[in-house]
Amino acid sequence: MTISRKKIERIIRPEVRGLSAYHVPVPGDFIKLDAMENPYDWPDWLVDEWLERLRQVSLNRYPDAAAVALKQQMRGALGVPDPAAVILGNGSDELIQMIIQAVAGPGKVVMAPEPSFVMYRQIAVVSGLSYAAVPLQADYSLDRDVIAAALDEHRPAVVFLAYPNNPTGNLFDPEVIRAILAQAPGLVVVDEAYAPFTDASFMGELQACDNLLVLRTLSKMGFAGLRLGLLAGAPAWLNEIEKTRLPYNISSLNQLTGEFALGHREVFEQQAASIRQDRDALLAGLQSQPGLTVYPSAANFILFRVPAGQAGAVHAGLEENGVLIKNLDGSAPALRDCLRVTVGRPQENAAFLSALATLL
């Protein structure tokens, strides 16, 4: 199987060859605080009830292509206002891909702040669009003038705003987001992946704003393994985006499990409430360590900066102590010396903090 470099270059697009595949470390026997996962397992009674329900699935049949029951359940659980339409995705990543595919074409631009969620750029580039990154200020807030000038210059078909932002954890000023909505020539997607950990949301502004789309996922609230996301917005937009959806993108197992899990959402809302409290304790723990700059977070993770040049050593030292977090140093100029830790169980957060203390 020797395929010549020349042949690959002839067949595979240069933009794709220039990318690196999204890297996920192989999970070892770690305290895993790198991927914004909910650290809590389901209680046994819930697992038993779920397994019983799974018996009803007819895997020989195609799933409900419209996922009617799950859609209804998700609308209610996520507070989608009535006139808005929704599309479900195999994770919100798939919905980002559908939005970009719907607008793709020569000269089309996707815009997002930098640093932000890496999939916006990855999917834009793979889909053949240009990507315009708008730098955030030193405190990771949006600069109203810089973004206004960038909107004028690039005329993006779609702007993505993660709210709260990943990997920085902060909420952008809602007034600046409203200014972007008013000025943008195309769609503005407010990506609320971390909605379970904040009270802030643009879901309530869908009716007032006809170029706003709101993106949600069940991943960060406790179902990362399930792969379920939701896009909400005006029916006129969603009817078009719907055409890019592959039929049966939500499997029968996903539909049943999603309905079941949201039927018991008090369990997961309780977990999210604990994670929010533990985030504040973890933040205080980080702030008490010398030499760190700790950034405020409205999500289930915290970004912090270590003394210059030490990110690699601190990251490796934590790993030697059995704790896996994310090293962001080198991924963007604004993230130099930065690490990101996901809020885990209280004992996991304590293990992380005490390992960190030995490394600073």
CB 233 within 8 A of CB 213: yes
Q: Which residue's CB is nearer to ligand PLP, number 162 or number 356?
A: 162
CB 163 within 8 A of CB 112: no
Exposed/middle/buried for residue 107 (C-beta within 10 Å: 0-12, 13-18, 19+): exposed
Q: Which residue's CB is nearer to ligand PLP, number 46 or number 224?
A: 224
Q: Which residue's CB is nearer to ligand PLP, number 229 or number 285?
A: 229
Q: The tokens 């389901």 sit on which residue? A: 42
Whole-number minimum distance, CB 242 to ligand PLP, in Å? 18
User: Which residues of the shown chain bind ligand PLP in the complex (CB under 6 A)?
Assistant: 36, 91-93, 117, 162, 166, 191, 193, 217, 219, 224, 229
For residue 113, give the amino acid letter. P
Whole-number minimum distance, CB 1 to ligand PLP, in Å? 32
User: Is there a cis peptide before residue 83, judged by omega within 30 degrees of 0?
Assistant: no
Q: What are phi and psi of 160, to 5 degrees?
A: -105, 130
Q: Which residue's CB is nearer to ligand PLP, number 121 or number 356?
A: 121
Q: Which residue's CB is nearer to ligand PLP, number 142 or number 355?
A: 142
Whole-number minimum distance, CB 38 to ligand PLP, in Å? 12
CB 166 within 8 A of CB 197: no
Q: What are phi and psi of 219, to 5 degrees?
A: -60, -50
Residues in the chain: 360
Strand partners, 158: 110, 187
Whole-number minimum distance, CB 11 to ligand PLP, in Å? 29
Q: Which residue's CB is nearer to ligand PLP, number 168 or number 252?
A: 168
Between CA 193 and CA 163 the distance in angstroms is 8
Between CA 203 and CA 206 the distance in angstroms is 6
Q: What are phi and psi of 127, to 5 degrees?
A: -85, 5
Q: Which DSSP state fits 98?
A: H
Task: Enter the tokens of residue 104.
Answer: 């793709």
Q: Which residue's CB is nearer to ligand PLP, number 98 or number 162?
A: 162
CB 36 within 8 A of CB 299: yes
Q: Which residue's CB is nearer to ligand PLP, number 38 or number 219?
A: 219
Whole-number minimum distance, CB 209 to ligand PLP, in Å? 20
Give the β-pairing of 326-327 and 293-294. Answer: unpaired
